[in-house]
Structure 1
């Protein structure tokens, strides 16, 4: 079982001297399993990072990124490998990117989308969320002919009245998983993937969780009034005080604490069904988050560790206990899980750029980790349509980025010719750029990055991918501008 806590960064989730919050469910898994403290995503946002997890490849090879928002069928996926080898394959998704429309259903027998009350290709949820009164009736009337009218009305009413505003789908995910495990009569093993969305903007945790983290004197109602307009903040149109950023950080931590509770509940479902001891249970994240860090919000336009450093806990037979400080990446999960299941899957292994970190694989630790940001998302044009004229310091984000890191050093290289160099051993927060005074080290890491880029064929996929109006509206609900 692979559980992705969408947008959960390592700083709040990996056990360390910095973390000052309790995550009982995740910590319990980490104590009985292996916690990889130096795990890194290959991209800083959902679509390319999940594509890397599913294929074991990086964005320049799998081709799913801001310039081509689809995982094409050129590469085999982890779900396909498990299904071919006799596993029941199930995905429960709370994030619109992880759906059939963007190429992520391949290999899954069942894909359950929690934003729909009845599973269908027609999604009226954005109408229910964004219109009121007679406008809702008119909008629904215009869309009822798409697919099954009864199903459409059920989904719209669910989105409007029943889906809890302080839960982005975790509760419904667990209810569905619990029922599935209870009713399951099949003898074959299963591969289950879950994307939980709670830590993602907007941060609206349950009141009881938020009040544990809010600064003294700040009420829940006051916290809910703090602007969460990431794009306005990045463009300089929205100002946030240090106090307001502290409030947002508190809400973000509360979202993670709430999700930790739901992960504990998920474990209970597995235990009740008698499946936990036989299950390799993985908890990770697709990327992190900036909450004023580096002058940014959300998870775009940069490759700092606030976005790339993610939690990774693996519990199950064959894995040891304790913390492991070796460099690992999400691209490594595919071959690792194949090793854990004893599956050959030669095509997936041949295409994968990851390396197994399963204890039985006896591979040498990584010397470096790679990350890619192939195109800005949203584009400068989309951002300008949202916030108005962009200042020059924002337009500099109109570039692609690649990063290479060792245990001690990290180089970030831009398509605009920029270089940033950080000595992580001395300053893990990446505030002091040392590129100017370390030309030799920049050149050495540049060469390593070039050698890596020359070692494989790059995807030829380019151009925009069409999506339905409903999907585009739902992505904009999540803060993604198209």
Structure 2
């Protein structure tokens, strides 16, 4: 049976990786893995959602956001849907996951089906993390973290996750069960604060002190709604600093993943597939937006995707791909029940368009936050209600509650619907068929409330999320 190691990186846009000809070599390890025999990078992977909860729920249920509703109009995945780890456990798999983000936790139901699930937070470290791992991190705190400080936002969880994952992998060697390991690396999420060696190198290159760069990053994180409401009033120097710090988080995640890949390979784990991707990207000023709250610009939904160890996926000839396709193909190949999964089998099907969705609640909360700082903030470009974006290699069509937009890529600022009536009509027809066959919620029950503990809520607030 095939082992599966699925690695999801937070907030990582494809165009800020080496895989997509970025002008900085941020992901040499991802490039190396993709270039190996048995490896491949897919050029146009589009996320299902624009933030961790909706995107991760799609990955771990194999369904569209409007189907599972988590992060759309509901806080948790419904019990009517099985999770991928539940399906794999029925096939005899040992399932394990690690997440430093409460959107992927017991609070949202996305821990369901994992034999071992570790949510990483300052409140859980001493109880759940190996003492040896914590000591190693303290010993390497100036290499993998922010130095000796009690400010938790200066510290990265990647090193601790790497060390714990190594322990898990060694334990898997003594089992006859195949395993599914899901890892969510959160270090690129804002506030953009890479480990000290990267921080010092980048600030020296920019002519800034680490303290100055730190202030820019923390102000961005703490005032992100206010900054958007004011039109992102950054100087060129501040934009360069933000971008360099953001890239530094991606570079660090790449370093950790490269070491993890090499370690797992050295263990000679037979028949293991690696999937490396991101849950979503990040807005860095496109359409005057920051973070990942409301837009569906390609910077926010075009993510890297590398698959290694699956010969069956290497020959996929389609121009676009989505996470639920990879998951469907993996589960089909091992003979698992895939009746609820909504992706395509990449071995014999081709995707012609992608679907990304944003829920109505997220739009309303975000715009309300912007208007607190600027009552005259223009909300007209953000289509109301459930937003569904259908994308091909040439066009992106946005459909809201009462309105729509058509963009001729790569331009996502000019609505060209008036010039392409036939294209708009075709997209409308596609979306109507898609909604009837695939997009409807699996249940019409009332939205499900979250089950966030106080610690989960506190972490989400620290990360900048809205918490009821």
Q: TM-score, normalised by structure 1?
A: 0.83
Question: Is the contact made by 2:18 and 2:25 (CA closer than 8 Å) also made in structure 1?
Answer: no
1:61 partnered with 2:55:
no
1:393 partnered with 2:378:
yes
How many residue pairs match? The answer is 430
Question: Is the contact made by 1:378 and 1:481 (CA closer than 8 Å) also made in structure 2?
Answer: no
- 1:407 corresponds in structure 2 to 393
- 2:214 corresponds in structure 1 to 224
Distance 2:244 2:149 in 1: 27
1:450 partnered with 2:432:
yes
**Gap runs ≥5 in structure 1:** 121-159
**Partner SS state of residue 182, structure 2:** strand
Displacement of 1:299 in angstroms is 0.8
- How big is the alpha-carbon RMSD for the aligned residues of Structure 1 and Structure 2? 2.6
* 468 and 385 in structure 1: CA distance in 2 versus 1, 3 angstrom threshold: farther
Q: Which one of 76, 81, 101 corresponds to residue 75 of structure 1?
A: 81
* 217 and 163 in structure 1: CA distance in 2 versus 1, 3 angstrom threshold: closer
Question: Superposition pairs for residues 72-471 of structure 1, below 5 Å?
Answer: 72-115=78-121, 116-119=124-127, 165-184=153-172, 185-214=174-203, 216-226=206-216, 227-228=219-220, 229-236=223-230, 239-275=233-269, 278-319=271-312, 326-340=319-333, 342-345=334-337, 349-357=338-346, 361-363=347-349, 365-377=350-362, 379-380=364-365, 383-384=368-369, 387-388=372-373, 390-394=375-379, 397=382, 399-415=385-401, 417-424=402-409, 428-456=410-438, 457-459=440-442, 460-463=444-447, 465-466=449-450, 467-471=452-456
**Partner SS state of residue 15, structure 1:** helix
* 204 and 70 in structure 1: CA distance in 2 versus 1, 3 angstrom threshold: same
Distance 1:395 1:119 in 2: 48
Displacement of 1:189 in angstroms is 1.2
Question: Is the contact made by 1:30 and 1:321 (CA closer than 8 Å) also made in structure 2?
Answer: no
Displacement of 1:395 in angstroms is 7.5
- 2:144 corresponds in structure 1 to none
* 248 and 323 in structure 1: CA distance in 2 versus 1, 3 angstrom threshold: farther
- 2:27 corresponds in structure 1 to 23
Question: Is the contact made by 1:56 and 1:331 (CA closer than 8 Å) also made in structure 2?
Answer: yes
Displacement of 1:430 in angstroms is 2.0
Displacement of 1:374 in angstroms is 1.8
Displacement of 1:410 in angstroms is 1.3
**Bigger mean CA deviation after superposition, 382-391 or 101-110:** 382-391
Displacement of 1:168 in angstroms is 3.1
**Partner SS state of residue 73, structure 1:** coil
CA deviation digits over 1:289-329, x for unaligned, max 9? 00111100011212111111111100004246699662111
**Partner SS state of residue 101, structure 1:** coil
Distance 1:353 1:52 in 2: 10
**Gap runs ≥5 in structure 2:** 129-147
Displacement of 1:471 in angstroms is 1.9
**Partner SS state of residue 37, structure 1:** coil
1:479 partnered with 2:467:
no
* 238 and 440 in structure 1: CA distance in 2 versus 1, 3 angstrom threshold: closer
1:13 partnered with 2:29:
no
Distance 1:11 1:431 in 2: 18
- 1:36 corresponds in structure 2 to 42
* 235 and 66 in structure 1: CA distance in 2 versus 1, 3 angstrom threshold: farther
* 166 and 42 in structure 1: CA distance in 2 versus 1, 3 angstrom threshold: same
Distance 2:78 2:286 in 1: 33
